[in-house]
Structure 1
């Protein structure tokens, strides 16, 4: 399971870096208007914050292997928390980096449960 943990960490860090750099502007499209009202902030802050969280979670999975249960659960919770943004993007049909067609946006929705299962597998499987 170490390989799955490291791969998940790499995915999270890469996604987080994209939120802070080349994809930052495009990812604002994914943020629903209700999220800015709920969190009392703007879309850019949500994109930057989610990117920072992704980087921290990914780094934690590598740097703190003994905390994989808690971190895996936190990653799973994060995937649940961002899912409404993916649904919003699919419903509105708005393009974001790498998600520029209805098919890609729909496939992204289908991948979310797999990411959730992956995070839970990292959390619940013994380290080998």
Structure 2
């Protein structure tokens, strides 16, 4: 039987990160789906040759998969953490687009909220990286 070290700050942080990802992913494919289309820049639809709805659904699916993988695949934790950090970097242009266009989306109804949301990306990347490293 493998030795378990019990709950640590990192393990709690990983669980919270997994829950955040799954919750955000579910919102992207359900109740928030329509509102999140606003965040997708038009250049992304041209680059990916698809529509905004498909990008929102795909990003939501990726969030759910990453959140579940973080819990279900502990041996791959550092790789999954790197993928989560990369995902947070990849979606940043959408946050910038939303701020620049001033359009509301779920939870981001004001210019101030949209601006402050930009600064959340750095701690999200750091959280993903730190929580998935052993030391």
Whether the 8 Å contact between 1:32 and 1:85 is mirrored in structure 2 is: yes
In the other structure, the counterpart of 2:115 is: 106
**Number of residue pairs the alignment of both structures matches:** 126
Structure 2, unaligned runs of 5 or more: 1-9
Supply the RMSD in Å over aligned alpha carbons.
Answer: 0.7
Task: Name 2:52's counterpart in structure 1.
Answer: 43
TM-score by length of 1: 0.96
Is the Cα–Cα contact under 8 Å of residues 68 and 122 in structure 1 kept in the other structure? no
Cα deviation, 1:20-69, whole Å, max 9, x if unaligned, reads 00100000000000000000000000000000000000000111112110
Moved over 6 A (4+): none
**CA-CA distance at 1:122 after TM superposition:** 1.9
Partner residue of 2:86? 77
Are residue 4 (structure 1) and residue 6 (structure 2) matched? no
- Correspondence for 1:15: 24
Mapped pair 1:115 → 2:109: no
Aligned mates of 1:119, 1:27 — CA distance in 2: 22
Structure 1, unmatched stretches of 5+, are none
* Alignment correspondent of 1:29: 38
Larger relative helix fraction: 1
Q: Is the 8 A contact 1:87 1:109 kept in 2?
A: yes
Given that 1:31 and 1:88 are in contact with CA atoms closer than 8 Å, whether structure 2 keeps it comes out as yes
